[in-house]
Amino acid sequence: MTQINLLVSTPNLSDDRSKCPFCNEDEHPFPGKKEDNPDYSVVSNPGSLGCEDIADYDADYPWAMAKHHLISAKQCFARLNPIIRMAKMTGYDINGKPNGIGLPTISSKVDYPCDDGTRESYGWGGNSDRKKNIAYKVMTAAKAQWHVGHHSLELEVDPGYEWGDEIDTSTEGHLVKYDVKIVEELIKIMMYWKKPEFDLCNQDSDDDNTDKFIKSMDDLSESIEKKLNCFSSGNPKGSNPLYVSKLAHSYAYESSRQKRSRDGTGLTGPAKKRRRIKK
Ligand SMILES: [Zn+2]
């Protein structure tokens, strides 16, 4: 993580704009793509993500929809200049449909029940237990992570979570931020397509290289979405280490504890099997 943290805290280091981010030769348009005016500013436009509307304003504990970038436009993508340039050259859109998911959140239109039978807003009374109760009820009903507040929080997650082919062998829990994890994955994509053996900019090659970078970005979005969707398949902890809010993180860990205690043994997996064999 140290190397990643260094890269994250000193973003856009060693980006020479006069050189192609793929082949490191002098700047040139991507083969098969027309050259337009290079504008490397990153705009976050949740409206173009085309998220499926998951809002439910009629529920007892209603929710609005947050249009969430699976790969954050500003907190992740915009921090790596070479990847912004790869995207511009190939026509990748950080605000495109593959990078969006709708998640439950609050809005001025929704109120929640109070003890005296009235309804008030989420933040009413500044009571954190009330907020937690609302968030948990919504997550249970919407089967999705509560998207309130920012997601650059540090969260302690179990060791040994799986992410693609990466296996973390550490034996103690460690702290992971959603955004740091995604930047780490973006750096992998960037380094991958820089490899000379791919030679994406080779005009003489018979390969159509135009969509390769875009596909790896869309694949990353898809794998993040799969993780977030573990809330809908009854295994919220499967989202590890990607939680978009602190309450989504605590919900996942508490529901997994509850599941274990309902089970009666307080054990899961191999430990449970061992106990059965003993009997
Ligand atoms: Zn090139």
According to the per-residue pLDDT averaged within each range, which of 29-33, 137-141, 196-200, 256-260 is highest?
137-141
Separation of 265 CA from ligand 1 center, angstroms?
A: 59
Mean pLDDT throughout 86-114? Answer: 93
Confidence band for 264, pLDDT divided at 50, 70 and 90: low
Q: Is the pLDDT assigned to residue 162 strictly greater than 80?
A: no
Separation of 259 CA from ligand 1 center, angstroms?
A: 52
What mean pLDDT, rounded, does the chain reach?
Answer: 81
262 or 56, greater pLDDT: 56
Mark the residues whose beta carbon lies below 5 A from ion ligand 1. Answer: 20, 22-23, 201
Separation of 31 CA from ligand 1 center, angstroms?
A: 9
Q: Is the pLDDT assigned to residue 71 strictly greater than 50?
A: yes
Residue-wise pLDDT for 163-217, tens only, equals 332 233 332 334 568 888 999 999 999 999 999 988 899 878 788 888 999 999 9
Separation of 190 CA from ligand 1 center, angstroms?
A: 13
Cα separation of 155 and 251, whole Å? 13
Contact 213, 86 (CB under 8 A): yes
Residue 111: predicted pLDDT: 92
Mean pLDDT throughout 117-132? Answer: 89
Residue-wise pLDDT for 8-17, tens only, equals 444 455 688 8
Residue 35: predicted pLDDT: 67
Mean pLDDT throughout 261-274? Answer: 52
Mean pLDDT throughout 72-87? Answer: 92
Residue 155: predicted pLDDT: 55
Separation of 70 CA from ligand 1 center, angstroms?
A: 28
Cα separation of 255 and 10, whole Å? 38
Q: What percent of the chain has pLDDT over 70?
A: 77
The 10 Å CB-count burial string (b at 16+, else e) for 151-176 is bebebebeeebebeeeeeeeeeeeeb
In three-state secondary structure terms, 211 is: coil
Separation of 92 CA from ligand 1 center, angstroms?
A: 16
Confidence band for 153, pLDDT divided at 50, 70 and 90: low
Q: Is the pLDDT assigned to residue 253 strictly greater than 80?
A: yes
What does pTM read for this prediction? 0.81
Q: Is the pLDDT assigned to residue 82 strictly greater than 80?
A: yes
Cα separation of 115 and 159, whole Å? 40
Residue 279: predicted pLDDT: 38
Separation of 210 CA from ligand 1 center, angstroms?
A: 12
